Amino acid sequence: MASKPKTFSFHWGNGIVAEEAQVRTEHHVPTFQLLRYTEGSMEGQVTVRFAQYSLRGRFGRGPLIMSADDLVKMRASLRETPELRALLKALVEGD
Cβ-based neighbour number of residue 31 at 10 Å: 20
Smallest CA-to-CA distance from 53 within 27, 76, 78 is with 27
Examine residue 25 and state whether it is found in any structural domain, yes or no.
yes
Residues 29-85: pLDDT tens digits? 999 999 999 999 999 999 999 999 999 989 888 899 999 999 999 999 999 999 999
Pick the more confident residue, 94 or 48.
48
| Residue 62, in any domain of the structure | yes
The residue type found at 78 is L
Average pLDDT over residues 7-11: 95
2 within some domain:
no
User: Can you spell out the DSSP letters for 12-31?
Assistant: TEEEEEEEEEE---SS-EEE
Residue 1: pLDDT band (50, 70, 90) is low
Residue 49 falls inside a structural domain: yes
Number of domains observed in the structure of the chain: 1
Q: Residue 62 carries which DSSP code?
A: S
Residue 16 to residues 38, 67, 69, 76, Cα–Cα distance (Å): 7, 28, 29, 23
| Boundaries of domain holding 24 | 7-93
Q: 1 lies in a domain? A: no
Per-residue model confidence (pLDDT) at position 75: 95
